[in-house]
């Protein structure tokens, strides 16, 4: 088991050198607590694992996983690039100092205004459809404009059906068989297509499906190179490399993962005489998931037909268990060495029957007032939060070598209606 669990001398959960109980007392709960050093370590381990096998390699952080400004600024300082999927993510990235050439925009079902905005920001566009290509050509002078295409490699994998992004059921990308024609179409319009992108899914722990995607994408790129005469500056294999959420899951062997897939990448480059394009990968979850825990306080221990441990957060705060039936390991941060004595349901405070963080979860003798930590909450945690049930969004705390900084203030009730207006006839 490697869930980044550390315990201090008080037998409390340690997050980045800070005591989780002290954090909860000072800043309140619920709150997301982020370990800066763990983010840096995850990024550097990932980059080193691949770059040592293929030096012309770049990491594009899939920032939809966590767009907290401090998190993104940490990665900017490490030299990371950004995979953006919305104009808002482009805007945030530019504001934080990422130059246009360090941002790849991969949108889908994008509007004309969004296409134009992203182009004017100097970001490389990763086009998802023929429609977007034709609409962009009508809005701008396409002569010499660099772009890329997302292709569907017909391989899908992931921890949930909603996270599989390749194959016949996927809404993403152009079809593999039409790729040479689409790249030629882009050239005929005056564009300069220089990249290819694919993505098969999220939460992948097995290197085998990723290997299939690399093989499929490179075969598509090879055909485009041969039939449309495209010399690729980069090939982007997306993200999706997972992290262990359960105690039974094993950590991905990054070196093996890199060695196998880069070896295949090089073979295909030689097979199709494609030169040495840069290899892109887009980790999101891998970099930030285990760098963050959601701290919640137990406010109710209820014996009904089942035993419920009620906490002060719900799926409005952490949506993954309700949306994907995802497992998040949960510990009693107040007494880390306490043995499990019971199986309980850990329930949130949202008025929905599906608002559960865990069913039949082995736990120690949890008491009201205990602080629980819901681990691996850094990816798709706060970024998927909502104000459902008119609950203010929670705070985020960054821990750096034991020092805590508020990097997102907790919302107030007034924030819930700050942008709303009552028309005059109702006043």
CA–CA gap between residue 235 and residue 268 (Å, rounded)? 12
Identified catalytic residue from 63, 80, 292, 351: 351
Q: Half-sphere exposure of residue 97, counting CA atoms within 13 Å on the CB side?
A: 11
Quick check: is 292 catalytic? no
User: How many residues can be counted in the chain?
Assistant: 427
CA–CA gap between residue 12 and residue 23 (Å, rounded)? 11
Which backbone phi and psi does 334 adopt, to 5 degrees?
-80, -25
401: tokens are: 């070598």
Catalytic residues: 351
């Amino acid at each position: 088991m490697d869930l980044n669990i550390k315990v201090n001398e008080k037998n409390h959960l340690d997050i980045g050198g800070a005591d989780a109980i002290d954090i909860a007392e000072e800043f309140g709960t619920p709150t997301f607590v982020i370990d800066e050093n763990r983010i840096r370590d995850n990024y550097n381990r990932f980059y080193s694992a691949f770059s040592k096998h293929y030096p012309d390699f770049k990491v594009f952080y899939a920032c939809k996983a966590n767009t907290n400004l401090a998190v993104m600024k940490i990665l900017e300082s490490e030299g990371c690039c950004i995979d953006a999927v919305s104009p808002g993510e482009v805007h945030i990235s530019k504001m934080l100092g990422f130059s246009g050439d360090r941002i790849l925009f991969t949108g889908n079902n994008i509007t004309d205004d969004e296409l134009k905005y992203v182009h004017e920001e100097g970001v490389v566009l990763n086009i998802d459809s023929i429609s977007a290509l034709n609409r962009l050509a009508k809005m701008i002078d396409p002569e010499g404009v660099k772009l890329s295409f997302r292709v569907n490699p017909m391989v899908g994998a992931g921890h949930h059906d909603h996270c599989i992004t390749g194959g016949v059921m996927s809404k993403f990308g152009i079809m593999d068989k039409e790729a040479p024609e689409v790249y030629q179409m882009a050239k005929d319009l005056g564009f300069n297509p220089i990249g290819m992108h694919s993505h098969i899914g999220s939460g992948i722990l097995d290197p085998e499906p990723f290997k299939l995607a690399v093989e499929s994408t490179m075969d598509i790129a090879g055909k485009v190179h041969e039939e449309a005469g495209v010399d690729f500056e980069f090939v982007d294999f997306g993200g999706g490399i997972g992290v262990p959420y359960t105690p039974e899951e094993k950590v991905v062997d990054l070196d093996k993962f890199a060695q196998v897939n880069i070896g295949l990448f090089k073979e295909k480059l030689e097979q199709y005489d494609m030169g040495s394009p840069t290899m892109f990968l887009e980790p999101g979850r891998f970099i930030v998931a285990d760098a963050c825990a959601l701290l919640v306080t137990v406010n109710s221990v209820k014996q009904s037909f089942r035993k419920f441990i009620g906490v002060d957060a719900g799926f409005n705060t952490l949506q993954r268990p309700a949306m994907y039936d995802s497992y998040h390991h949960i510990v009693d941060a107040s007494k880390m060495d306490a043995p499990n004595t019971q199986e309980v349901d850990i329930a949130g405070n949202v008025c929905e029957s599906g608002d559960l963080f865990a069913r039949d979860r082995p736990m120690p003798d949890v008491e009201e007032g205990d602080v629980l930590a819901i681990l691996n909450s850094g990816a798709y945690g706060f970024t998927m939060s909502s104000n459902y049930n008119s609950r203010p969004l929670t705070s985020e705390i960054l821990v750096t070598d034991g020092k805590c900084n508020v990097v997102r203030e907790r919302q107030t009730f007034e924030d819930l209606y700050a942008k709303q207006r009552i028309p005059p006839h109702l006043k």
